[in-house]
């Protein structure tokens, strides 16, 4: 099995969680300063969040590989 992980995307997150992430500066900003529904890859908590998700995937499932989609920033 080859897992496909979309990185940084937060589709389906609750309004409360998005508001908390926005307040904590964890969402990406556009060139005009608007937040968009993507976690900012340069925020240390977001990097840890992604690493923890991958660690869980690798320890819970017998995957043969992982494709990290949208990893670029």
Q: For 13-64, write each residue's pLDDT tens digit.
A: 999 999 999 999 999 999 999 999 999 999 999 999 999 999 999 999 999 9
Residue 25 to residue 44: CA distance in whole angstroms: 11
Specify the pLDDT at position 9: 92
Residue 73, pLDDT > 70, answer no
Q: How confident is the model at residue 2 (pLDDT cuts 50, 70, 90)?
A: very high
pTM: 0.85
């Amino acid at each position: 099995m080859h897992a496909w992980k979309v990185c940084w995307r937060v589709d389906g997150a609750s309004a409360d969680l998005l508001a908390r992430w926005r307040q904590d500066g964890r969402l990406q900003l556009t060139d005009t300063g608007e937040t968009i529904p993507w976690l900012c890859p340069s925020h240390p908590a977001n990097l840890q969040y992604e690493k923890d998700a991958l660690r869980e995937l690798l320890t819970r499932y017998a995957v043969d590989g992982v494709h990290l989609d949208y990893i670029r920033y």
